[in-house]
Amino acid sequence: MKIGMKAPTLRVPCLFNNQFSFLPFYNLQKSQFALCCLSDLKETDAWFLEAQAQEFKQSGSALVILVSNDHPLGQDWGRPPQDFGIPFFIDPINRLKKSLHLARSLRPNRCETLIFDQDTRLQFRLIHDLSLKGISSVLDIIQSEFVQNSAEQPARSNRNSHRTLLQSADSQTAITITA
């Protein structure tokens, strides 16, 4: 899926707030969201992501988890997945994974995160570690001027967006050398 394209309109199985339903992505309109795609989700990862979802919520965005069908969600967990305060999209036949052109395989504790704007247009994609540093990087990108400007100007090309991001990073980087 290319930057600037709208998310697919597929209805995807979702566990959230003790309910199982089929939700399309357009239900997430009116707020930016990060779709964190994992090939394997352990209970400790779910606890960590639930805590991080609060940070996203405070910033006015949302964190959504997509779990592939390779590993059953919640098997041998002490706390059922539906009790967590984050939405879990489940992709049992990999329709969403294919339509989003996600990485075919990631090593354990890695995830691919796609950042969507208020109109469900893809703004950024990132492969990172499933760690505080990795998730914090996603939140920093969501809060950055780059994503805010991208949402306002969806017609820009990927190359221009990339240049803007690099210029923004250069202008924010300051190195102080003391003797």
pLDDT digits (tens, 9 = 90+) for 144-165: 866 566 555 544 445 555 555 5
- Report the 3 state secondary structure along 86-126: CCEEEECCCHHHHHCCCCCCCCCCEEEEEEECCCCEEEEEE
pLDDT band at 28 (very low <50, low <70, confident <90, very high): confident
- For the chain, domains (ranges, CATH) are 11-172 (3.40.30.10)
Distance CA 23, CA 86 (A): 14
Q: What is the pLDDT of residues 31-71, one digit of tens each?
A: 889 999 887 788 888 899 999 999 999 988 989 988 876 66
Taking the CA atoms of residue 83, residue 25, residue 121 and residue 91 in that order, the dihedral angle to the nearest 10 degrees is 80
Containing H/E element for 146?
helix 145-152
pTM of the model: 0.76
CA triplet 128, 116, 51: central angle to 5 degrees? 55
Please compute the mean of the pLDDT values over residues 81-105 and round it to a whole number.
83
